[in-house]
């Protein structure tokens, strides 16, 4: 941490500075209060250690100046005998603690370690809160199609059973949404849901994120760090893109699932964890097993209950309601609409990015909509390049099956009549129907035959 040490007594200043440097902190020293105020005006510090009585400006001035900064550093006050009342007053003004002279340097090192640990926890909490707030509400799940209703039934069935679940689906299908629903419906709903993308980090950083590390475990490990398993203790961890895990990390994950314990990188302590594991893969994970890229034993540990999410192109019936949901989500209180013919285009589009692409398309269309517009533009909702246009635009009018069958039957009868030169008895024999049925079809279809003698003649 960056520390400002404001102390005019040379012996204390030198020995405490050396101790702080030895503990891995960066230290700026100020021999009087005025120099300390100059430092505070020029840069930020994590911690300020200040004596109360100094030349130039006293410790109270340094404390007040420090607490007015954004972000405000923690302030530790050093006080001599007879100035305890001043130290108490400093605590009221925001100092985190005070030490009475003489004091062991180890006491200061311990206080800074506690400050560092608390700040690390606060930073993790803010990061997790940011991750959660940046995602759509976890209780929203649009499921009109039969395949998605089956996914919902599987979620309800598995949520209360504390088993591992493997969620398989293409990118953007809503795998994390499914995982959050399982967590919310489970007995762990009051505990944390901790997501982690296995594809977003390099192997060494991923292990640190999963299991944590001790200070000094590697070059940039300036302080200890809790891993996601430790943070999720008592709750649920969601491992997205688990198919991208390196084999070496798979071995360590398997051990966690088998023994329910972890060890931080560079650490010797074994920590017990009670965590439900939900994993997600963008490809069928058994394919990775066959390719030798995923451990079979880990696959069976994760795949206790599988849930497969179909891509959006296989459930176009969900597009309408999903679009309506995103219109409401991003409309900012305004009511935006989409023309019916544009909905048809959206249902024909393949949505390679799945629900995420649809969400971004609606959000983009709202952002680009003219100020007083009610209906969103088609070109903002789906790609309209020539390739996409030819794929989406119907080449002919869609015909119902019954009309296709009638047209085919009429053409076939006309062809056989031409072959028999309009002789209905012979035509009926070739078609395998009675003359009466043939006459009815000729009448119904308005077929004109070449045999004038038989045309219009009713059968016996």
Q: Which of 15, 317, 373, 306 is nearest to 165 (CA)?
A: 306
Asked if residue 117 has pLDDT above 80, the reply is no
Residue 57: predicted pLDDT: 87
Q: Is 184 helix (H, G, I), strand (E, B) or coil?
A: helix
pLDDT in tens, 215-255: 776 766 677 788 899 999 999 999 999 999 999 899 999 99
Residue 2: CB partners within 8 Å, gap ≥ 6? 25, 26, 28, 43, 44, 45, 46, 47
**What average pLDDT does range 315-336 have in this prediction?**
91
Q: Which residue stretches of 78-133 are H helix?
A: 84-92, 105-133
CATH T-level assignment (fold) for domain 401-445: Arc Repressor Mutant, subunit A (1.10.10)
Q: Which of 129, 184, 133 is nearest to 158 (CA)?
A: 184
Residue 166: predicted pLDDT: 97
Q: Which of 334, 331, 333 is nearest to 366 (CA)?
A: 331
Q: In what order do the strands lie in the sheet with 236-240?
A: 193-197, 236-240, 276-281, 165-168, 305-308
What is the dihedral sign for C-alpha 6, 11, 14, 17? Answer: negative
**What average pLDDT does range 41-67 have in this prediction?**
88
Q: In terms of pLDDT, which residue wins out, 54 or 203?
A: 54
Average pLDDT, the chain: 85
Are residues 172 and 355 in contact, defined by beta-carbon separation less than 8 angstroms? yes
- pLDDT category at 111 given cuts 50, 70, 90 is confident
Are residues 363 and 330 in contact, defined by beta-carbon separation less than 8 angstroms? yes
Question: How many Å apart are CA 368 and CA 377, to the nearest integer?
Answer: 9
The neighbouring-strand residues paired with 193 are 236
Asked if residue 115 has pLDDT above 90, the reply is no
Asked if residue 71 has pLDDT above 50, the reply is yes
Question: How many Å apart are CA 290 and CA 453, to the nearest integer?
Answer: 73
Extents of the domains making up the chain = 2-115, 147-308, 313-392, 401-445
Question: How many Å apart are CA 341 and CA 459, to the nearest integer?
Answer: 49
| CATH homologous superfamily, domain 2-115 | Response regulator (3.40.50.2300)
Backbone angles phi, psi at 48, to 5 degrees: -120, 125
Q: How many Cα atoms are found within 13 Å in the side-chain-facing hemisphere of 281? A: 21
Q: Which of 171, 218, 164, 228 is nearest to 196 (CA)?
A: 228
Asked if residue 451 has pLDDT above 70, the reply is no
Asked if residue 455 has pLDDT above 60, the reply is no
DSSP E strands: which ranges in 241-382?
Answer: 261-262, 271-272, 276-281, 305-308
| CATH homologous superfamily, domain 147-308 | P-loop containing nucleotide triphosphate hydrolases (3.40.50.300)
Are residues 320 and 343 in contact, defined by beta-carbon separation less than 8 angstroms? yes
Q: Based on C-alpha coordinates, what's the Rg of the chain?
A: 36
The helix (H) or strand (E) run that includes residue 5 is strand 2-6
The helix (H) or strand (E) run that includes residue 459 is none
Q: Strand pairing of 236-240 and 193-197?
A: parallel
Asked if residue 131 has pLDDT above 60, the reply is no
Asked if residue 130 has pLDDT above 80, the reply is no
SS3 readout for 118-142: HHHHHHHHHHHHHHHHCCCCCCCCC
Instruction: Check for a shared fold between 2-115 and 147-308.
Output: yes
pLDDT in tens, 278-317: 999 999 999 999 999 999 999 999 999 999 999 999 999 8
DSSP E strands: which ranges in 273-403?
Answer: 276-281, 305-308
Distances (CA, A) of 275 to 187, 194, 232: 12, 10, 6
Domain 313-392, CATH 3.30.70.1230 — does that match? no
- Tell me the whole-structure pTM to 2 decimals: 0.57
């Amino acid at each position: 941490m960056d520390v400002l040490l404001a102390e005019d007594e040379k012996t204390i200043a030198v020995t405490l500075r050396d101790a702080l440097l030895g503990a891995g902190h960066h230290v700026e020293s100020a021999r009087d209060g005025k120099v300390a105020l100059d430092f505070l005006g020029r840069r930020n510090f994590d911690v300020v250690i200040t004596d109360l009585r100094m030349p130039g400006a006293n410790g109270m001035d340094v404390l007040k100046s420090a607490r007015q900064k954004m972000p405000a550093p923690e302030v530790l006050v050093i006080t001599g005998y007879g100035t305890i009342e001043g130290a108490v007053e400093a605590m009221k003004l925001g100092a985190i603690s005070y030490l009475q002279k003489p004091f062991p340097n180890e006491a200061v090192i311990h206080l800074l370690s506690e400050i560092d640990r608390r700040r690390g926890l606060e930073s993790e909490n803010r990061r997790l809160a940011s991750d959660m707030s940046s995602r759509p509400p976890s209780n929203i799940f649009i499921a009109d199609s039969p395949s998605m209703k089956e996914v919902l039934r599987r979620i309800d069935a598995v949520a209360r059973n504390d088993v591992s679940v493997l969620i398989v689906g293409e990118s953007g299908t809503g795998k994390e949404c499914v995982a959050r629903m399982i967590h919310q419906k489970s007995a762990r709903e009051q505990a944390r849901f901790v997501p982690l993308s296995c594809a977003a980090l390099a192997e060494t950083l991923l292990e640190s994120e999963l299991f944590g590390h001790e200070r000094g475990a590697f070059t940039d490990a300036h302080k200890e760090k809790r891993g996601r398993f430790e943070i999720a203790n008592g709750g649920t961890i969601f491992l997205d893109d688990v198919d991208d895990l390196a084999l070496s990390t798979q071995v360590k994950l398997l051990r966690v699932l088998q023994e329910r314990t972890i060890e931080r990188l560079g650490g010797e302590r074994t920590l017990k964890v009670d965590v439900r594991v939900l994993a997600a893969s963008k490809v069928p994970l058994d394919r990775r097993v066959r390719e030798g890229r995923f451990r079979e034993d880990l696959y069976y540990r994760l795949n206790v209950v599988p849930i497969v999410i179909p891509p959006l192109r296989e459930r176009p019936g969900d597009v309408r309601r999903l679009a309506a949901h995103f219109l409401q989500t991003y409309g900012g209180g305004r009511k935006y609409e989409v023309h019916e013919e544009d909905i048809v285009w959206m249902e024909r589009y393949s949505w390679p990015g799945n629900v995420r692409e649809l969400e971004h398309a609606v959000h983009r269309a709202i952002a680009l909509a003219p100020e007083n517009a009610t209906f969103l533009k088609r070109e903002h909702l789906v790609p309209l390049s020539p390739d996409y246009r030819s794929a989406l635009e119907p080449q002919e009018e869609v015909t119902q099956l019954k009309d296709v069958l009638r047209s085919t039957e009429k053409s076939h009868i006309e062809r056989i009549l031409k072959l028999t030169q309009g002789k209905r008895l012979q035509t009926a024999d070739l078609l395998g129907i009675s003359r009466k049925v043939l006459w009815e079809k000729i009448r119904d279809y308005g077929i004109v035959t070449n045999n004038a003698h038989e045309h219009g003649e009713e059968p016996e």
